Amino acid sequence: MFYSRLVTAPLVGQHRLLNIHPSLLPGFKGIGAVEQAHGFGARFLGATLHVADEQMDHGRTVAQASCPTRPDWSLEDWQHVAFLQKTALLLLAIELTSLRLLRWEGADAKLDPGWVSGDRLNPMLTDPALLAGLRQHQRPGLEFL
C-alpha cells in the first residue's frame, strides 16, 4: 500500500500487491497526483484502490472513493481529504479481504460477484464505529463522508 516508486517485475511476480493512489485513475498518475489535480482544477477529488503491476498506476481498479471539490479549498485541504480517502480505501481493502469478498485469481484481484455495493462509499461504512472514527478526522467544510 502507498508505494512511492515503481514496483519492479521481480516483486510483482512474487507477491500479490494492492496500491492506493490519490486520484481517480486513470487520471493524474505518478507522484504528486493531488497537486496535479489541484493545479488542473479538477471538479472531483478521489483515490483508487488497484492491483499493482509493472506499469505505473495501472492494474485493475478494485474500488474508488471520490467527492466534489470546492473552489475555496486550499492545496492543504485537498491533501487532507485525499489522506482520508486513502485511509477509507485501506480499511475497505482489509474488510473485503477479511470477509473473503476480495479474491485473488493469479496476480489479479477481483471482488466476489455476489457482493453488491450500495449507495455508500463502501460496506465498511455500515459499521457506525468505523464511520464515526473517519468522520472525526474530517475538518469543517471538508466533509466527504
Residue with cell 477509507: 88
Q: How far apart are CA 78 and CA 97, in angstroms?
A: 28
Residues 6+ apart with CB under 8 A from 81: 45, 67, 73, 142, 144
Q: Which of 15, 21, 38, 58 is catalytic?
A: 21
According to DSSP, residue 2 is labeled -
Residues 6+ apart with CB under 8 A from 75: 34, 35, 38
- Contact yes or no for 132/78 (Cβ under 8 A): no
58 as an active site residue: the answer is no
What amino acid positions are annotated as catalytic residues?
A: 21
